[in-house]
């Protein structure tokens, strides 16, 4: 199976008439069995179509047109309008929201996440590329055009979680080349506050029978890795985990931001070396090179060793 | 973006939190006038965005206005941790009975702000948390509901503080929470928060950091404080090379080709995207390479932008070759980056096959890109060559040049 989405998942694209959103819609429709993109929203553009997908002024119109609950939304509106768009999705009963938009102030993200929690909705991102279930469906720009996504992602037993959108594809491609497909790959976003962290996605992979191991991409900054290490230890996860840590050089440059908004060394707990230690203590193998990951996760699965 | 103390104090004052009758100046003679107005002993404090100013001699006590002037003159000329001061703050030397701490930061795991309070102030709060954990109160608060007085009471009471002190502290903490939320801050800290002999409280120093992504919402405040749009206030000042990188990125609105950081090696890097750049920079160093710079390409930049970035790096003194590498791209087009970097070489009179140590960008439009690279004799690699292996080859080539 998969986590978060499957062949039956219905979703809309908010901001669908934007240049990148038009491409993203095409990609999702083309990939796998073809995503069920049941509508798009851009205020003032009611009646248009984007690759055959009807465009509405509001999410409520999209839901009414669909005639029932819509599972998800991909939000691609500019930062100043993102909070309102996400609130609109949540208040119209949408349960899974992928926020692609970058550079959203943290306060807005925190408000969206809190409302989502109150309403039982889940947010992936912001500043992410979305979710892909190889050969089945993708929700977001992850992997790019259908042809390119098919080249990198193959179905299989590995769950992938990554703070970097591009590295989700790089790692999955490396796994695929070694004969290790993916159950689901999730680009969780590179900001300091995100809707779903590693530890928050782990229970879903844990419950997914197809998934036998987890590969994660991590960076300096924040405490998400410490949270994962704690979760793994407390829950006695059945899933072996291999992590890759980028940005080791940043330990020498505290206070400087590189890569993603959430990537900055502020204290001693969020350095690369401190995180590597914590992950290792929880039994998570930290790879030095991406090409080493397939062998490591294969070994761990073969040994039946938990994380 | 961090605020100087004099700016943070102004923000606090506007929020209705009591501050001393201080003055800010960039001029020693004016420091004397401020001290005269204050009357009595003063503290002259260097306004720098770096820690350890006390140790460095950037905080000095003066009994007379004349002394205030001479201290100000010395402090204004004193470099601290590589930073020249923006000015000096002339502060009345307050008769403080006890120093407290109040601060608000984000908790990225709980995804809520957390109010932190301690009756042990004047020193680093992390040190207090380690040595006297029962003296540090913490309380998360909602992003949706406004911060309420009872929450301030709870956090204060949790540290054993009661009586009139508690009641006087409540509005200060509530206002501080409001300042944090309304100004999109990532840190709002009053330390020390002094209790004077008459029982009143006054903010004696403040640290604030406003989120860069939210600067646009606070133009009015920033203008009032005299903060220029160009001021980034990173851990160190941007170099001319880095500023030139920002100009390249501003060429047009398509994609990113910038986020340049200067290093002093001989291998120029034209790399991307966010995570790929971090991975590649590590890999180059792991193989003994010396990067001339860090940068990021992503989001499908134009040929002009990729060309501009490559030119900037190629022209950096000491750069022998450039390595053009990214993780597999799905949005950025391989052929566009290839055309950009080749154009940069040609326009500078270089042979692309000579100057580009390796081109490793697989993904969207790679067939077209690889064809162009072949035509110009550039060594390129597809996805079967790992990021690490590409970095190794680049380092090997440049070390061949040096030897």
Domain that holds residue B142: 1-20+95-233
For residues B67 and A251, give the distance between their C-alpha atoms in angstroms, rounded to a whole number. 42
β-bridge pairing B88-92 and B137-140: unpaired
pLDDT digits (tens, 9 = 90+) for A230-288: 999 999 999 999 999 999 999 988 878 787 777 777 777 789 999 999 999 999 999 99
A113 to chain B, any CB pair closer than 8 A? The answer is yes
Within this chain, do residues B89 and B134 fall inside the same structural domain, yes or no? no
Instruction: Report pLDDT for B400.
Output: 80
Instruction: Report pLDDT for A306.
Output: 61
Instruction: Report pLDDT for A109.
Output: 98
Instruction: Report pLDDT for B331.
Output: 87
Within this chain, do residues B13 and B27 fall inside the same structural domain, yes or no? no
Structure tokens at B379: 């060594």
Sign of CA dihedral B70, B73, B77, B80: positive
Instruction: Report pLDDT for A307.
Output: 56
User: Please, are residues A215 and A171 in contact by the beta-carbon 8 Å criterion?
Assistant: yes
Within this chain, do residues B59 and B13 fall inside the same structural domain, yes or no? no
Within this chain, do residues B379 and B244 fall inside the same structural domain, yes or no? yes
**Number of Cα atoms under 13 Å in the Cβ half of residue A14:** 32
Q: What residue of B is the nearest CA neighbor of A246?
A: B279
Q: Which residues pair with A53 in a beta bridge?
A: A50
pLDDT digits (tens, 9 = 90+) for A87-107: 999 999 999 999 999 999 999
pLDDT digits (tens, 9 = 90+) for A186-233: 999 999 999 999 999 999 999 999 999 999 999 998 899 999 999 999
The phi and psi torsions of A133 (rounded to 5 degrees) equal: -110, 105
| Chain B residue numbers touching A257 (CB-CB < 8 A) | 234
A174 to chain B, any CB pair closer than 8 A? The answer is yes
Q: What residue of A is the nearest CA neighbor of B112?
A: A110
**Number of Cα atoms under 13 Å in the Cβ half of residue A110:** 25
Q: Is B127 exposed, middle or buried (0-12, 13-18, 19+ CB in 10 A)?
A: exposed
Q: What is the CATH number of the domain that holds B109?
A: 3.30.470.20
Picking from B31, B60, B93, the residue at the C-terminal end of a domain is B93
For residues A9 and A142, give the distance between their C-alpha atoms in angstroms, rounded to a whole number. 16
For chain B, the distance separating the N- and C-terminal CA atoms, rounded to the nearest angstrom, is: 44
Pinpoint the alpha helices (H) of chain A: 19-30, 59-66, 79-91, 106-119, 146-152, 165-177, 198-206, 224-235, 272-281, 293-302
A119 to chain B, any CB pair closer than 8 A? The answer is no
The count of other CB atoms within 10 Å of the CB of residue A267 is 10
**What DSSP character marks residue B80?**
B
Within this chain, do residues B356 and B381 fall inside the same structural domain, yes or no? yes
Peptide bond into A14 cis (omega under 30): no
Radius of gyration of chain A (CA): 19
Q: How many domains does chain B fold into?
A: 3
A15 to chain B, any CB pair closer than 8 A? The answer is no
Of A114, A143, A262, the CB nearest to B144: A114
Picking from B50, B72, B93, the residue at the C-terminal end of a domain is B93
pLDDT digits (tens, 9 = 90+) for B221-260: 999 999 988 787 877 778 999 999 999 999 888 888 989 9
Q: Structure pTM?
A: 0.94
Q: Which residues pair with A39 in a beta bridge?
A: A12
For residues A160 and A205, give the distance between their C-alpha atoms in angstroms, rounded to a whole number. 10
For residues A203 and A225, give the distance between their C-alpha atoms in angstroms, rounded to a whole number. 15
Interchain pair A144, B329: CB under 8 A: yes
Q: What is the CATH number of the domain that holds B27?
A: 3.30.1490.20
A49 to chain B, any CB pair closer than 8 A? The answer is no
Within this chain, do residues B217 and B200 fall inside the same structural domain, yes or no? yes
Within this chain, do residues B262 and B211 fall inside the same structural domain, yes or no? no
Within this chain, do residues B43 and B141 fall inside the same structural domain, yes or no? no
User: Please, are residues A221 and A265 in contact by the beta-carbon 8 Å criterion?
Assistant: yes
Q: Which residues of chain B have pLDDT under 70?
A: 401-403
Interchain pair A145, B330: CB under 8 A: yes
Q: Which residues pair with A217 in a beta bridge?
A: A162, A244
Pinpoint the alpha helices (H) of B44-118: 65-76
Interchain pair A144, B213: CB under 8 A: no
As a whole number, mean pLDDT of residues A99-128 equals 96
DSSP helix/strand/coil, B24: strand
Q: How far is the CA of B389 from the CAs of A294, A303, B249, in angstroms?
A: 16, 29, 28
Within this chain, do residues B34 and B48 fall inside the same structural domain, yes or no? yes
Within this chain, do residues B3 and B69 fall inside the same structural domain, yes or no? no
- Please, which residues have CB within 8 angstroms of residue A147's CB and are 6 or more apart in sequence? none
Within this chain, do residues B16 and B159 fall inside the same structural domain, yes or no? yes
Q: How far is B275 from chain A, CA to nearest CA, in Å?
A: 5
- Is there a catalytic annotation at residue A260? yes
Listed in order, strand segments (DSSP E) in B33-140 are: 42-46, 59-62, 88-92, 96-107, 112-118, 137-140
Domains and CATH numbers, chain A: 10-302 (3.40.50.261)
Within this chain, do residues B249 and B261 fall inside the same structural domain, yes or no? yes
A289 to chain B, any CB pair closer than 8 A? The answer is yes
For residues A162 and A13, give the distance between their C-alpha atoms in angstroms, rounded to a whole number. 22
| Angle at alpha carbon of residue A271, lines to A267 and A274, rounded to 5° | 105
pLDDT digits (tens, 9 = 90+) for A134-187: 999 999 999 999 999 999 999 999 999 999 999 999 999 999 999 999 999 999
For chain A, the distance separating the N- and C-terminal CA atoms, rounded to the nearest angstrom, is: 21
Picking from B93, B127, B156, the residue at the C-terminal end of a domain is B93
As a whole number, mean pLDDT of residues A59-66 equals 98
Q: How far is B47 from chain A, CA to nearest CA, in Å?
A: 19
β-bridge pairing A130-133 and A182-187: antiparallel
Q: Which residues pair with B258 in a beta bridge?
A: B296
For residues B320 and B268, give the distance between their C-alpha atoms in angstroms, rounded to a whole number. 7
Q: What is the CATH number of the domain that holds B331?
A: 3.40.50.261
């Amino acid at each position: 199976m998969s986590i978060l989405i499957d062949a039956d998942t219905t979703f809309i694209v908010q901001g669908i008439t934007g240049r990148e959103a038009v491409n993203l819609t095409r990609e999702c429709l083309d990939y796998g069995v073809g995503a069920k993109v049941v509508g798009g929203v851009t205020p003032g553009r009611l009646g248009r179509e984007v690759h055959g997908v009807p465009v509405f002024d509001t999410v409520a119109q999209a839901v009414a047109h669909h005639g029932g609950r819509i599972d998800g939304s991909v939000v691609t509106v500019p930062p100043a309008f993102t909070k309102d768009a996400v609130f609109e999705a949540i208040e119209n009963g949408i349960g899974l929201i992928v926020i692609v938009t970058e550079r959203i102030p943290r306060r807005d993200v925190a408000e969206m996440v809190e409302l989502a929690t109150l309403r039982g909705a889940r947010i992936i991102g912001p500043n992410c590329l979305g979710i892909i279930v190889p050969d089945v469906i993708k929700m977001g720009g992850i992997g790019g055009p259908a042809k390119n996504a098919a080249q990198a992602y193959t179905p299989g037993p590995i769950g992938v979680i990554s703070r970097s959108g591009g590295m989700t594809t790089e790692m999955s491609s490396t796994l695929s080349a070694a004969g290790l497909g993916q159950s689901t790959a999730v680009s969780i976003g590179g900001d300091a506050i995100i809707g779903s962290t590693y530890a928050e996605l782990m229970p879903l992979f844990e419950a997914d029978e197809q998934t036998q191991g987890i590969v994660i991409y991590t960076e300096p900054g924040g405490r998400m890795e410490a949270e994962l290490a704690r979760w793994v230890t407390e829950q006695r996860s059945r899933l072996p985990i291999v992590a890759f840590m980028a940005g080791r050089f940043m330990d020498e440059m505290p206070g400087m931001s590189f890569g993603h908004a959430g990537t900055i060394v502020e204290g001693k707990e969020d350095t690369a070396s401190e995180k590597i230690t914590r992950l290792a203590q929880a039994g998570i193998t930290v790879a030095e090179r991406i090409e080493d990951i397939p062998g490591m996760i294969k070994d761990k699965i073969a040994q039946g060793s938990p994380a | 973006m961090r605020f100087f103390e004099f700016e943070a104090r102004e923000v606090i004052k506007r929020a209705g939190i009591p501050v001393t009758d201080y003055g800010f100046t960039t001029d020693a003679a004016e420091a004397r006038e401020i001290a005269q107005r204050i009357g009595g002993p003063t503290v002259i404090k260097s306004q720098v965005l770096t820690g350890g100013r006390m140790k460095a001699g950037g905080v000095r006590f003066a009994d007379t206005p004349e002394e205030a002037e001479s201290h100000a003159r010395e402090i204004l000329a004193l470099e601290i941790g590589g930073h020249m001061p923006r000015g000096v703050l002339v502060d009345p030397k307050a008769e403080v009975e006890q120093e407290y701490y109040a601060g608000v930061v984000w908790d990225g795991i709980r995804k809520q702000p957390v109010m932190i309070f301690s009756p042990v102030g004047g020193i680093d709060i992390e040190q207090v948390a380690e040595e006297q954990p029962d003296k540090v109160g913490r309380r998360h608060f909602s992003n949706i509901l406004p911060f309420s007085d009872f929450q301030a009471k709870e956090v204060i009471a949790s540290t054993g503080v009661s009586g009139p002190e508690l009641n006087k502290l409540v509005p200060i903490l509530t206002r501080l929470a409001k300042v944090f939320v309304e100004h999109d801050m990532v840190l709002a800290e009053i330390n020390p928060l002094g209790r004077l002999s008459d029982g009143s409280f006054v903010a004696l120093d403040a640290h604030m950091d406003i989120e860069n992504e939210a600067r646009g919402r606070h133009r009015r405040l920033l203008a009032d404080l005299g903060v220029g749009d160009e001021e980034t206030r990173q851990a160190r000042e941007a170099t001319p090379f880095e500023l030139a990188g920002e100009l390249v990125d501003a060429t047009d609105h398509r994609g990113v080709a910038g986020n340049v950081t200067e290093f002093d090696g001989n291998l120029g890097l034209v790399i991307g995207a966010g995570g790929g750049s971090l991975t590649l920079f590590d890999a180059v160093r792991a193989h003994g390479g010396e990067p001339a710079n860090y940068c990021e390409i992503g989001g499908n930049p134009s040929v002009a932008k990729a060309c501009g970035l490559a030119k900037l790096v190629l022209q950096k003194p000491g750069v022998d070759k450039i390595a053009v590498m990214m993780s597999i791209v799905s949005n950025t087009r391989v052929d566009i980056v290839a055309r950009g970097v080749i154009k940069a070489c040609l326009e500078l009179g270089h042979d692309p096959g000579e100057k580009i140590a390796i081109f490793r960008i697989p993904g969207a439009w790679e067939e077209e890109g690889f064809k162009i690279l072949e035509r110009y004799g550039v060594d390129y690699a597809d996805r079967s060559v790992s990021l690490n292996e590409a970095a190794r080859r680049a380092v090997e080539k440049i070390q061949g040049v040096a030897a």
